[in-house]
Amino acid sequence: MVERNEPALRGTDRGVAVPKVLLWIVGIIVSLVLIVFIASFFIDEPLRRTTERRMNQSLKGYKVRLPKLHFSLIGLSITLKGLSISQEAHPQPPVAEFPYLRASVQWREILSGKLVGDMRVDGPKVHVNLLQLKAEAASKVPMKQKGWQQAFEAIYPLKINLLKITDGSLTYIDQDPKRPLKLSNLNLSADNIRNIHLPDKVYPSNFHLETDIFGSGHGTVEGRANFLAEPNPAVKAAIELAKIPLAYFAPMATRSNVRIEGGTLTASGNVEYGRKVQTVRLKKLAIHGVKLDYIHTPETARAESRRAQKVKKAAKEVSNKPDLILTIDHFSLTESNVGFINEYGGKKVRLFLSDANLDLDNFSNQFSKGPATARLSGKFMGSGVTEAKATFRPEDKGPDLDLYLKIDNTQLVSLNDLLRSYGHFDVTAGTFSLVTELHVKNNMVNGYIKPFFKDMKVYDRRQDRNKGFFHKVYEMLVGGVAKLLENKRHDQVATKADISGPLQSPKTSTWQVIVELIRNAFIKAILPTFERNVDALGKHK
């Protein structure tokens, strides 16, 4: 019996021995993993100090603080926590904060024979203010030579091929800290950054950006890119912007003598930027409910002139430029109030158009795109029904436009600030209307401007009882002149000024022609030779 059982016992011995070997193997593997895991923590602090030092050595004008770093031998990943970057000139607030940043090997691309990395960034915050921007602008070291690329290469040695950013924010503070320009809930994904796939394509990488803008607005940018293109990355994308509050731009607009109140912006279109092509096509650009004023003062006159020259030069440079195509299919301004304010000698005059609605179609910098057309409606000074039509073409040989404008029955009392400033009188009743037609081509201007004053009453004993004796006499004389000029049949004062001849400056832009017409001819038309006739009457008496 013993001999018969021996084979069974040996089999049992072999059966027990096999699991022990497996247990030993599993035990060794677990031990190695534990050793690697524990060892990685001993590596963390020396690696943290080295990474922080190398980043600081790379950057010029900025300083890095890295409180926590963890390197995992399993997966060959590195995790940074609390990374912050500060500008040495203005360290508060830090220009960038990264609560969580993780970089690792992008294992799926190993199958493609490429050793690249992916990076995930959660909750990054970028802060920039006006002082920091000014310090950067004053720096003698160009941004490209600040060492940013070397600093980020110090974090992880592999080239990043996949980038994901979640819940990021970008904040810019201009002059008013209570009104920051902020992008929040920012999410970005970009893949194939190293052009591993579809390398022959013009735009081999795809990306998607989505963010909230200034709280109530929203924006998305989605498309394809070539992040390795030289000298700059190339991109082709679709853009959608919705309900962007314009009031947040008010602090910056004031530096250009523009005051903005309220209003929202919505836009959609396509952008392509590459070495051989630069195209911006806005299918729709809409502004709603804004109050916008341009403010002219003697103190800012020189700065305004310099800005006008820069705008004129920029418009000339982009006009019909073959590799730059700028197009707005349709622009609309709705339910807005647009004005011009002239401040001088303690006086303030505001001309405005309320309930303004503007439609502009086929606007382009390319002559071949054909003429743009514009339609404007509103109420001049809140009462005068206004209609305007314009056709203008991209400037090829100077301004090229046709303009028609009609204003009906503006209440004259709404123009009293203007009349007091330029004519030294005011009115108590009457209406003002205007018709003008203007054609500009081949550096020549032709047209006319014709204002009408109806039922104008200048002197009122009750309203003017507190005015000086000589001022009362002056207003009575102005009223008398108005009576002499009245068309007895229609009981109105009407004058007509023909406008013809060469432009004073052949290089004047289309917009400058329109502005000069409004600022000079229009003002003169409102006050048709009153002072000259009053002086004549005074001498006669």
Which segments of 176-233 are extended strands (E)? Answer: 181-191, 205-213, 217-226
| pLDDT, position 32 | 59
What average pLDDT does this structure show over 340-368? 87
**pLDDT reading at 341 higher than 80:** yes
Calculate mean pLDDT across residues 485-505. Answer: 57
Contact partners, residue 76, CB within 8 Å, separation at least 6: 104, 105
Q: Considering the chain, what is the average pLDDT of its residues?
A: 79
Strands 77-87 and 486-487: unpaired
pLDDT of residue 325: 85
**485: confidence class by pLDDT, cuts 50, 70, 90:** very low
Higher-pLDDT residue of 513, 128: 128
Residues 6 or more apart from 158 whose CB is under 8 A from it?
103, 105, 115, 116, 117
Q: Does residue 149 register a pLDDT over 70?
A: yes
Q: What is the pLDDT of residue 302?
A: 84
Structure tokens at 447: 């047209």
Q: In the structure encoding, which two tokens stand for residue 468, read together?
A: 């000086």
Q: Token pair 């409102």 is at which residue?
A: 526
Q: What distance in Å separates the CA atoms of residue 286 and residue 71, rounded to the nearest whole number?
A: 50
Residue 440: strand pairing partners = 401, 445
- Looking from the CA of 42 toward its CB, the CA atoms found within 13 Å total 6
pLDDT digits (tens, 9 = 90+) for 259-299: 999 999 999 999 999 878 889 999 999 999 999 999 988 88
- Whether the predicted pLDDT of 528 surpasses 90: no
Q: Output the pLDDT for position 290.
A: 96
Is pLDDT at 222 greater than 90 in this prediction? Answer: yes
User: What pTM was computed for the model?
Assistant: 0.77
Instruction: Give yes or no for a contact between 523 and 451, defined as CB atoms under 8 angstroms apart.
Output: no
Range with the poorest average pLDDT among 31-40, 240-249, 511-520: 511-520
Instruction: Provide the residue type at 247 as one letter.
Output: A
**Confidence band, pLDDT 50/70/90 cuts, at residue 423:** low
Largest interatomic CA distance in the chain: 158
- The region, left, alpha or beta by phi > 0 then psi within -120 to 50, assigned to residue 452 is beta
For residues 377-388, average pLDDT:
95
Residue 411's Cα: distance from chain center in Å?
37
Buried/exposed code over 483-508 (b: 16+ C-beta within 10 A; e: otherwise): eebbeeeeebbeeeeebeeebeeeeb
Range name among 325-334, 371-380, 435-444 with the lowest pLDDT average = 435-444
Point out the least confidently predicted range of 97-111, 121-135, 265-279, 519-533: 519-533
- Predicted confidence (pLDDT) per residue in 172-206, tens digit: 988 777 778 899 999 999 999 999 998 888 899 99
- Region 448-474: mean pLDDT is 59
CA distance readout (Å), 239 to 71, 220, 266, 268, 534: 39, 6, 11, 5, 60
Question: Which carries the bigger pLDDT value, residue 483 or residue 77?
Answer: 77
pLDDT level of residue 496 (50, 70, 90 thresholds): low
pLDDT score, position 412 = 86
Q: Which of 185, 181, 180, 243 minimizes the C-alpha distance to 217?
A: 243
In the predicted structure, residue 484 carries a pLDDT above the cut 90: no
Q: Which pair of tokens denotes residue 306?
A: 């310099």
Across the range 216-242, mean pLDDT stands at: 93
Query: What pLDDT, on the 0 to 100 scale, is given for residue 41?
Result: 57
- Letter for the amino acid at 398? G
Tens of pLDDT, residues 17-32: 456 666 666 666 666 5
Chain-centre distance for alpha carbon 230? 26
Most confident by average pLDDT, 335-349, 451-465, 519-533: 335-349
* More reliable by pLDDT, 515 or 427: 427
CA dihedral 287, 292, 296, 302 (to 10 degrees): -40
Which pair of structure tokens corresponds to residue 129? 């203010």
Tokens of residue 259, six digits: 């005051």
**Closest C-alpha among 78, 76, 77, 50 to residue 64:** 50
Query: Cα(247)–Cα(244) distance, rounded to whole angstroms?
Result: 9
Q: What is the dihedral of CA 169, 175, 178, 181, to 10 degrees?
A: -30
Q: What is the pLDDT of residue 450?
A: 80
Is there a contact between 449 and 432 (Cβ–Cβ < 8 Å)? no
pLDDT band at residue 396 under the 50/70/90 scheme: low
CA 142 to CA 126: how far, in whole Å? 20
